Amino acid sequence: MKKSFGIVGLPNVGKSTLFKKLTNIDITIANYPFATIDPNVGVVPVPDIRLNELTKLSNSKKTVPAILEFYDIAGLVKGASTGEGLGNKFLANIREVDGILHLVRIFKEENITHVEETLNPIRDIEIINLELRLKDLETIHKRLNSLANEAKTGKIEALLELQLLTLIKAKIETGENIYEFAASNTPVLGGK
């Protein structure tokens, strides 16, 4: 089984450094925004001593560990959802991964530039989260437009998806965290 994770954050927060440590791949690390343009990709087997024991117990001929694939994604800046920096490219790369590791800079270092000029981790988290929410809204709007026609035909899957996306859209617009949205709260036609 392979899962992929994108390392995301503002430029110059240490994404490439973390990637290099996780994967042991020698990559360029530089003190300027957008040193990474195309994502660096590294595959890492997950060490698990139990796996060897299972191999012995089952007399397996081959042992295949779980695999994590890491993507060192270009830094995101304020306005990325509208194309600032490498925004659209960055956000397209995020769509390709199963999960994200959000890296935030909390270290003070005069010699390493900060795109916002001051160190403020809370602000930086809010910038990334806002840009991701805005891109999610754009994606949802496009899908809602195409679902509207499908739903008119009475297709149950389209009606359910339309209802769910409308609810998710409302939560995103109010700033709620959709990751905490419980599956048990998913609406069903005719009620909750």
pLDDT tens per residue, range 68-85: 999 888 777 677 666 655
- Kind plus residue range of the DSSP H or E element containing 7: strand 2-8
Round to whole Å and give the CA distance between 23 and 18.
9
pLDDT tens per residue, range 136-145: 888 888 889 8
- Is 117 or 122 the better-scoring residue by pLDDT? 122
Residues 36 and 73 sit within 8 Å (Cβ to Cβ): yes
Q: By percentage, how much of the chain surpasses pLDDT 90?
A: 7
Nearest Cα to 74, choosing from 148, 154, 7?
7
Model-level pTM greater than 0.85? no
